[in-house]
Amino acid sequence: MAYRIYTESNMADTWRDPNEILTGELGYKHSLEDAKSLAMDYIKDNFYHTNTQIEERRDGTFAATDFRSYGETIIIEPITIS
């Protein structure tokens, strides 16, 4: 098992505008600990709310969202390497 770490941001100006989702690839890690460490470093360096915590989602991914205008969500997604 490996983990993909990436960000998503919606750059639409208002909720009435069509979504404009931008994705940024941060990397891949072989352990969840390493993936969370990379994500926490990113949060510390790039989020406005630097105390944002990573939480597990129902779908098995982990994520943290910086709630602000044009805020980002960082996502840790388990992947299978074949």
Counting Cα atoms < 13 Å in the Cβ hemisphere of 59 gives 8
Q: Top-level CATH class of 2-79?
A: alpha beta
Rounded average pLDDT over 6-24 = 91
Cα 28 to Cα 58: distance, rounded to the nearest angstrom: 21
Q: Can you give the residue ranges of every domain in the chain?
A: 2-79
Cα 4 to Cα 40: distance, rounded to the nearest angstrom: 14
Express each pLDDT in 20-70 by its tens digit.
Answer: 999 999 999 999 999 999 999 999 999 999 999 999 999 999 999 999 888
Torsion of CA 36, 42, 48, 52, to 10 degrees: 0
pLDDT at 38: 98
82 pLDDT band, cuts 50/70/90, is: confident
